[in-house]
Amino acid sequence: MDEFKVNIKKIVLNLIVALFLSFFAFFLIAWLFHRGSFILLFRAVRPLYLLIALGLVIVEWLLEALRIQKIIHALGSDIGYGEILKISLIGSFFAKITPFDTGGEPFEIYFLHKNRGLTLGESTAVIMIKTLLGHFARLFLGMLLPFLVIFFWKQWLFTKTARILVNIGIFIYLGFISLLLFVTIKPQSAKRIIFYLLHRQIFLRFHLSKVKEWLDKLNRTIDDFEEAKLKILQTKASDLAVIGIYSLLCWTLIILLPVVLLYGMGVYSPILQTASIAIIFYLATAYAPTPGSSGAAELGFATLFAVLVPKPLLGIFVLIWRLFSYYTGLLIGGALTLREIISKKLKSVK
């Protein structure tokens, strides 16, 4: 990963696809449920709650950067908080325009390695541990909050189709966590599997000139990763606990966003039920195959929250939630990405 080349045409294409899918989903929701003027309904939302919602989003950004910095400190390295915040926001932008939300981590790994002096293995360890702790925090809340959900969610009037989709989404999510956990705990075993696959005839036939280079780089990266992982895990238990708490706080802020927005619209649904449905949504739609989960996110959110939100308000509720949870980060991260491309810190390709 000596260079992270940015294909501007692909970024623009993914962005267009994401926006199109979002607008199409909004159109369907509005056609099925909406009555009245979006503008009038938006004006009816109390401004104080919109400010609180924006505050939740910003604080979550700050905590996300803080937990990356804490993990880096555990390695004995030091990177300025402002730089980490920028890397985190740009990584979030790439995640929001790539299928399965998978584009953010490679960027963060590259920038920590190339511009901040960490080895490739160290930067990989930082981001993988950050990602894994985030998944554990999400899963923990998904088990704790809906301790109720496990027993009562069928009573929340989800349709049969919604229940099937939720179960499929959670199954995929747990499978991804299992794979990530395996690679983190047993990197040498993962390396042997990858070595075995790369030595298969199909790779040797078409990529013979590159296979050795890939294997050498993979070998160095995994060795550096394992060394960095051990160094992080040997840090003070209190520091690891703080990183875990930051991860929980990040996800708590994320699932409180729909609670705040509903209160701003005058819909006083039980907080625990709202938060539980939110965490079910984030577990079930974590890896939708569209850029930034666009389309799937809006339709899934509307489907699950239809049990709480009056139909005339459902469209504006989904729109405002997506505005804060997706478009705000897309705008800020996109602006920072453009600045990096202009300043040549990110190399673009045609």
d(C-alpha 70, C-alpha 111), whole Å: 17
- Residues paired with 6 in a beta bridge: 348
- pLDDT for position 124: 84
* DSSP secondary structure, 224-267, as one string: HHHHHHHHHHTS-HHHHHHHHHHHHHHHHHHHHHHHHHHHHTT-
Residue 147 in domain: yes
More confident residue, 219 or 138: 138
Residue ranges making up the domain that contains 45: 8-349
d(C-alpha 32, C-alpha 53), whole Å: 26
* Number of folded domains that form the chain: 1
Q: What is the pLDDT of residues 339-350, one digit of tens each?
A: 988 886 666 555
pLDDT at 58 over 90: yes
């990266």: which residue's tokens? 221
Residue 296 in domain: yes
d(C-alpha 224, C-alpha 195), whole Å: 17
Q: Which of 60-69, 269-278, 279-288, 293-302 has the lowest mean pLDDT?
A: 279-288
């809906």: which residue's tokens? 146
Question: Mean pLDDT throughout 316-328?
Answer: 94
- pLDDT for position 87: 94
Residue 146 in domain: yes
Q: Which of 23-32, 45-54, 241-250 has the lowest mean pLDDT?
A: 23-32
Residue 184 in domain: yes
Q: Which of 152-166, 183-197, 225-239, 256-270 has the lowest mean pLDDT?
A: 152-166
Residue 244 in domain: yes
pLDDT at 329 over 90: yes
Residue 211 in domain: yes
pLDDT at 139 over 90: no
Residue 3 in domain: no
Collapsing DSSP states into helix, strand and coil, what is residue 284?
helix
> Which structure tokens are listed for 301?
């959110």
Helix intervals (H) in 80-119 = 81-96, 104-114
CB atoms within 10 A of CB 276: 24
More confident residue, 333 or 155: 333
Residue 2 in domain: no
Q: What is the mean pLDDT of the chain?
A: 81
Query: 57 and 328 in contact (C-beta within 8 Å)?
Result: yes
